[in-house]
Amino acid sequence: MGFWERIANIDRRWIYLLVALSVTLPMIIAMKFPIGLTPEAKQLFNAIDALPDSSAVMLTFDYYPSTIAETEPMSVAALRHMFSKDMHVLTVSNIPLGGPSIAERVTRAVAAEFGKEYGIDYVNLGYRANYVAVMHGLASSIESIFMSDNTGTPLRELPMMQNIKNYDDLDFIYVVADNATVDYWISIVNAQYDIRVGSGVTAVVAPKMYAFVESGQMTGLLGGMKGAAEYEKLLGKKGTATRGMDSQSLVHLLVIFFVIVGNIGYFASRKKEKK
């Protein structure tokens, strides 16, 4: 059996091993695969970056635990950006399963990096049912919908909330979602209350969202892990999204390699048979 034939008939367990190494290696060793920047990602980053220091912003955790690989890096990168500008961050979730607890874990972890204090620099409102009613209610009074935060502390006891009463006190809303709630943030909050809204969504949801960016109803967009990696690049701080994209790139290169080798082996064996 010739060289190419042996390669074409390689034990599939070696292939599985190489794929596993391709996935895990970038998590251990930093790679330098290029990450192209889309205009939508730049627009979102620039919109937040242009906000004055100490601005009040809202960050939503409208995603389930099943999509954390794509969505959580978007939340982390944005929080790092916001806290680096000493912004006051108000978080909320329209997802009962996991959303409030994810917000609690992520905000506290990132806040610790910047020495931010809960109740002064950031507040987690948690979850309330019926997100359409919630979005409308926040326009008149946040406290009428959320009398207390996610831990049960009354909002009137939190210093940050003394200056944030409704949408009028927010400079920007960044929605991270894996479902249709982002549509309502645009159609209700942006369209009816004229609040600028940017978004980070899963790769499956992203194609639908580009129309809102083009129409000016949404200020910037991150699509999937690639979008999160773009934000990390713009921020100048690599995170899990960048490492995840490195893993994807390495696996894709491996697949292309095996496709080429497999075809060469196939034609080499056909040529030998004809002889």
HEC profile of 8-51: HCCCHHHHHHHHHHHHHHHHHCCCCCCCCCCHHHHHHHHHHHCC
In a domain, 241, yes or no: no
- Amino acid 231: pLDDT: 95
Residues 95, 49 share a domain: yes
Which tens digit of pLDDT belongs to each residue from 150-184? 999 999 999 999 999 999 999 999 999 998 899 99
Residues 224, 165 share a domain: yes
- Amino acid 97: pLDDT: 84
In a domain, 175, yes or no: yes
- Amino acid 39: pLDDT: 95
Domain of residue 82 covers 39-236
> Cα Rg for the chain, rounded, in angstroms?
23
Q: Domain total for the chain?
A: 2
- Amino acid 7: pLDDT: 67
- Amino acid 102: pLDDT: 94
Residues 264, 156 share a domain: no
In a domain, 99, yes or no: yes
In a domain, 129, yes or no: yes
Residues 127, 84 share a domain: yes
In a domain, 83, yes or no: yes
In a domain, 85, yes or no: yes
- Amino acid 257: pLDDT: 79
- Amino acid 4: pLDDT: 62
What CATH number should be reported for the domain holding residue 116?
A: 3.40.50
Residues 25, 44 share a domain: no
Low-confidence ranges of the chain (pLDDT < 70): 1-9, 27, 245-247, 269-275
Residues 153, 17 share a domain: no
